[in-house]
Every structure is written in C-alpha cells, then in structure tokens.
Amino acid sequence: MEKKNNKFEVTIIFIVIVFSIIMYGLYLVVNEYYKKYAFTLITSPLTILECKKWDCTDKTSEVSKYNNKEYNTNIDGKDIGKNTMYYDSFQKRFYIFDYKDNSIKYNNSFYMYEGSISGILLDKNEVSTLELETIKSKLKLKFSLNQVTYSEKVMMDFDADSNIEEVYSVIGGALNYYFSYLVYNKEEKYYILYKSEENDITKFSAGTISNALDIFNDGKKEFIYHISYYDEIGECNVLYRIKGKKFVNVNECNVK
C-alpha cells in the first residue's frame, strides 16, 4: 500500500514539474512576443503612447517619467539616432539634445520612439478640384468647393498590397459653417476617418497629416493626424493604422 502511495506521489510531482515547465515556456514565448511588438511613441504636440501590439495606453499625463531619457528620433521622415528628450510642461515645449548636449532644432513633424519603427518621407500635394468633387459626391458631403481653404493628399502603398492608396485632409468654412475631413480612398471606395462639422467655430477642430511611419517594419504604413481645436483647449495627435481594408485610430485625442 505504501509503495502505491509513493508511486502516486511521484506521479503527481512529475505532473506538477512538467506543467510548471510548460507554463514557464509559454511565459517566455508570450514575453518575447510582446517585446517584439511593444513600442513607445512620443509626438509633438505632446502625445505619448505605450503600446503592446495595437493595445495602446495614453501616457501623456505622465510625461515627467519620460524626461531626460534617450529615444530614437525622427525629424522630417529621417532617423537621426538616439537623443535625450525634455518636455517643459509650463512652456509646452520639447527640448531635444544630442550626446554632446547640443540642442537639436525641429519642427512639429518630429517624433521619438522605442521599438521597431521606420520613418517614411512624407510627400504631400494639394487635392485637385476633380478629387474634391469626387470626395463630396461619394461621401454625400454638403460643402461647396469654393469654401475649401486648405487641402492635402498623401499617396502611398499603405497596406502593402503593391497598389497606391490616398489619404486626404480637407478643411474649409464659410459664415457659420466650418468643416474638416480626413478621408481614405482604397480602390475608389471612400471612407471618412475623422470629421468635424460645426456652426460654432469654438466647437470646431481641424487636422493635417504630420508624419508617416512603418511600425513593426512590416511594410504597412501608419500615419499621425495632428488635430487643432479652435477654442484653444489644445492640440493632439492621433495614430492611424491599417486594419483589414480600412484605417482605424489607435488612440483618442487626449484634449477632449
């Protein structure tokens, strides 16, 4: 009887050890996966995203934790290596320093990051009258072409299918009517990604495409949409990524 009990105990211990080894192996695999697909993205105006794959947390309010640390830096689509960041919350201004503590000049088309990200040179063109008419017709929008005050178009193979797609930003207004649209064109199918239509300019927001990037270096292109609110509550950046045949926003505007 005692031998049977000993054999049973040995079997239980063996099962526990094997189970522990399997669970530890799974932990290592999952941990390695998240390391590969984890990234930090810091953009101007101040928006900080901590992401595991596309599960992103907005860390903008914790900017002090990111100050005086080195991050990969991209200005105007060009990676310039690791530099130190400091954000002055009082002045609402970034300061970037190289390894010699020299200040680096930048414009709002910069971002800093950790993870597998490649910069894409952003080439923007004005949207043609024919394209504006097509956007208006396809999406049944009510603006007039003579009300458009600014437009831009970015063309590239966003979803890595060897075909060119377009993203448009259209902004305009007239007395007591203001509009801003972010539109994606995939194979002549048009999708509104963001819109603001207001009769009161204090409630109006408008955006432009500030950066294009390849997160995870998988050939698919993401972009940053810079939104400004006209009632002076602030500015923000929203990251858009391909999901299926459409773009979706990764984060929400953090000044709402």
Q: Which residues share a beta bridge with 197? A: 179
Whether residue 215 lies inside any domain: the answer is: yes
Query: What's the CA angle centered on 92, arms 87 and 93, to 5 degrees?
Result: 55
Q: State which of 63, 84, 119 marks the end of a domain.
A: 119
Q: Are residues 53 and 163 in the same domain?
A: no
* Helix (H) or strand (E) segment spanning residue 11: helix 2-36
User: Residue 30 has what pLDDT?
Assistant: 55
Asked if the model's pLDDT at residue 9 lies above 80, the reply is no
From 63, 85, 119, the end of a domain falls on 119
**Does residue 242 sit in the same domain as residue 133?**
yes
One domain, residues 59 and 113: yes
Q: Is a pLDDT exceeding 70 seen at residue 193?
A: yes
Q: Do 111 and 130 fall within a single domain?
A: no
Least confident of 5-9, 27-31, 139-143, 188-192: 27-31
Residue 224, class by beta-carbon neighbours within 10 Å (0-12 exposed, 13-18 middle, 19+ buried)? buried
Q: Are residues 215 and 104 in the same domain?
A: no
Quick check: 16 and 10 in contact, CB under 8 A? no
- 229 shares a domain with 138: yes
pLDDT digits (tens, 9 = 90+) for 157-181: 999 999 999 999 999 998 889 999 9
Full-model pTM: 0.86
* Pair (54, 151) in one structural domain: no
Is 226 among the domain residues?
yes
Structure tokens at 208: 């432009």
Check pLDDT > 80 for residue 143. yes
Last-in-domain residue among 72, 92, 119: 119
- The residue segments making up the domain with residue 172 are 124-249
Helix (H, G, I), strand (E, B) or coil at 140: coil
Total tally of structural domains belonging to the chain: 2
Token pair belonging to 231:
């009632």
Q: Is there a single domain that holds both residue 115 and residue 185?
A: no
How far from 136 is each of 189, 191, 197, 236, CA to CA, in Å? Answer: 13, 12, 14, 26
Tell whether 108 and 45 lie within a shared domain: yes
Cis-peptide, bond into residue 45, ω within 30° of zero: yes
Instruction: Return the percentage of the chain with pLDDT > 70, whole number.
Output: 86
- Same domain for 221 and 190: yes
Find, among 57, 37, 47, the residue nearest to 114 by Cα: 37
Within-domain flag for 50: yes
**146 assigned to some structural domain:** yes
**In the structure, what pLDDT confidence band is assigned to residue 77 with cuts at 50, 70 and 90?**
confident
Question: Same domain, yes or no, for 137 and 238?
Answer: yes
Question: Is 254 a member of any domain?
Answer: no
Is the residue at 23 inside a domain?
no
Is residue 16 in some structural domain? no
Same domain as 192, residue 165: yes
